[in-house]
Amino acid sequence: MKIKYIIVFVLFLISSLQITGSPHVKTGTVRVSIYSIKSDKGNVLIALYNSSSTFMCEQKALQRKVLTIEEGKAIAVFQDVPYGNYAFAVFHDENVNYKLDKTLVGVPKEGYGFSNNAQGTFGPPSFDKSQFTLNSINYQTVIRLQYFFR
């Protein structure tokens, strides 16, 4: 009889452990308003990164979005993003080939931008210059695209 109670008690403990699961991870929403898009032609691509080792490697982005342009503006909303440090890169894909077109010497032909409106010297800015911290339910920012050729 004692063994029966022990088995029931152990089963109860195991089932209660499965119900409680892991602790809740705080998440928020990142809203990026993109302005200064020179035309409504094409779309805007944006990628959200969570480390310097993956920054600017599109295949390793935490989230990616393709946005429509309306009146020179586009809005990206990333939901359920765990609190932490992030950076994003964005560009205006005018010809819808899903890549940032460049000249022979590597100068972007299409508009581009980064979180914090960060700028690099002879290339993209670092993750550290671009990073922001998500530590509340909502994070909002504004990016103005840059064009070498208007």
Q: What is the mean pLDDT of residues 123-131?
A: 96
DSSP structural state of residue 78: E
Non-local (6+) Cβ contacts of 92 within 8 A are 37, 38, 42, 43, 44, 69, 110, 111, 112, 145
User: Tens digits of per-residue pLDDT, 66-112?
Assistant: 999 999 999 999 999 999 999 999 999 999 999 999 999 999 999 99
Q: What is the pTM of this model?
A: 0.82
**122 or 104: which leads in pLDDT:** 104
User: Tens digits of per-residue pLDDT, 1-43?
Assistant: 566 555 555 555 555 555 545 578 999 999 999 999 999 999 9
Domain boundaries, the chain: 27-144
* Order of strands across the sheet that contains 74-82: 74-82, 27-35, 138-144
CATH topology of domain 27-144: Immunoglobulin-like (2.60.40)
pLDDT of residue 9: 56
Q: Which of 14-18, 46-50, 122-126 has the lowest mean pLDDT?
A: 14-18
| Band of pLDDT at residue 122, cut at 50, 70 and 90 | confident
